[in-house]
Amino acid sequence: MNTPHRDIWTTYTESWKVDAKEGKMALFEQCLDPACEYTDPLVQARGWQQLIEYMADFHRQVPGGHFVTTWFLAHHQRSIAKWEMRNGENQPMGEGISYGTYNDHGKLLSMNGFFETP
């Protein structure tokens, strides 16, 4: 059960690295429920469009910014992941933990990030 969730999580984290909206949408189709909800200490985004807008804002602040999962566990349509936020030069800038829930088709329904805010 851990591997399919890990694959979906990996596809989701790859979407943070992609700049173009079309590329993000292609990855979202593989890994996200259209009604997904993303929450972290700075924002609550519902659906693909709001998430894309938040990701674009992230890229304006951290050009080339992306996330690397360093630890992952899953069971019963839920997962938890530890990650590093990295800049465009692949240097660590911070770390956090995310909790995900999955729909009956294995796609992410919610992603909840936890990290220290500046």
Predicted confidence band at 64 (pLDDT cuts at 50, 70, 90)?
very high
Q: Which of 68, 69, 55 is nearest to 18 (CA)?
A: 55
Q: CATH 3.10.450.50: does it fit domain 2-114?
A: yes
> What residue spans of the chain are helical by DSSP H?
2-17, 21-31, 47-61
Tens-digit pLDDT profile for residues 10-63: 999 999 999 999 999 999 999 999 999 999 999 999 999 999 999 999 999 999
User: Quick one: CA torsion of 34, 38, 44, 49, rounded to 10 degrees?
Assistant: -40
How do the domains of the chain map onto residue ranges?
2-114
Q: Is the pLDDT confidence value at 110 over 50?
A: yes
Provide mean pLDDT across the span 92-99: 97
Predicted confidence band at 1 (pLDDT cuts at 50, 70, 90)?
very low
Q: How many CB atoms lie within 10 A of CB 78?
A: 13
Cα 4 to its chain centre, rounded Å, is 16
Predicted confidence at residue 2, as pLDDT, reads 65
DSSP state letter for 76: T
Mean pLDDT taken over the chain: 96
Please state, for a pLDDT cut of 70, what percent of the chain lies above it.
Answer: 98
Report the alpha-carbon distance of residue 112 to residue 12 in Å, rounded.
13
DSSP state letter for 64: T
